[in-house]
Amino acid sequence: MGIVGYMYFSDVTFTSMCKDASGKFLQTGNIFKYDPKTGQTIVWRSPSGMSVLNLIRTGT
């Protein structure tokens, strides 16, 4: 859980296998934010930039 009660999670992305529609650029995953009070899940950051560790460390 995050500092204000949200739960953050990411999808598992194999970057080397995920490319944009043109096939040229690697894609990264998404970070989702779940609000247990409302039951709502949103895409919080996309592309994630593979920055889940930063989110855990700083809360931002």
pLDDT digits (tens, 9 = 90+) for 15-38: 666 667 787 766 677 888 999 999
Bridge partner list, 9 = 32
The answer to whether the CB of 48 falls within 8 A of the CB of 59 is no
Higher-confidence position of 56 and 45: 45
Categorize the per-residue pLDDT at 49 as very low, low, confident or very high, splitting at 50, 70 and 90. Answer: low
Give every CB contact of residue 5 below 8 A, 6+ residues apart in sequence: 35, 36, 37
Show the tokens assigned to 5: 């009660």
CB atoms under 10 Å from CB of 53, counted, come to 8
Exposed, middle or buried: residue 51 (CB in 10 Å: 0-12, 13-18, 19+)?
A: middle
